[in-house]
Amino acid sequence: MGASGSKARGLWPFASAAGGGGPEAAGTEQALVRPRGRAVPPFVFTRRGSMFYDEDGDLAHEFYEETIVTKNGQKRAKLRRVHKNLIPQGIVKLDPPRIHVDFPVILYEV
């Protein structure tokens, strides 16, 4: 998957107040600036949906329509992918919440 976390924008939201919390700041005296305001929670509660609605209100990742093709006098059915008139799903609530991709934690299971 891609680098969609906060590191891609040059901001490390989980850095400690003393500095040096991010992987870029290891071994250097310069720490990234923390965002002002509230502390950032390590959880992600929503995500962008990857599915689409068609004009009938059906929800799916991909939509196909059946077309009849005549070749050498024979009729044959083919599936053609639909790209038009699709509406993105939007924001999806995660249940249970996930840990943020940039949160510096090691998961360990015995």
Model confidence over 84-102: pLDDT tens digits? 999 999 999 999 999 988 8
DSSP 22: S
Q: What is the pLDDT of residue 45?
A: 95
- The structure tokens 């196909």 sit at 64
Identify whether 1 is part of a domain: no
Identify whether 56 is part of a domain: yes
Identify whether 83 is part of a domain: yes
Residue type, 30: Q
What mean pLDDT do residues 64-76 have?
Answer: 93
β-bridge pairing 87-88 and 52-53: antiparallel
Identify whether 60 is part of a domain: yes
Identify whether 24 is part of a domain: no
User: Which of 100, 92, 5, 8 lies closest to 48 in space, CA to CA?
Assistant: 92
Q: What is the pLDDT of residue 40?
A: 78
**Residue 3 Cα distances to 7, 10, 57, 60, 71, angstroms:** 8, 12, 32, 25, 46
Identify whether 89 is part of a domain: yes
Identify whether 38 is part of a domain: no
* Number of domains into which the chain is organized: 1
Range of the domain at 82: 43-99
Identify whether 109 is part of a domain: no
Output the six-digit token pair for 17.
Answer: 């107040």
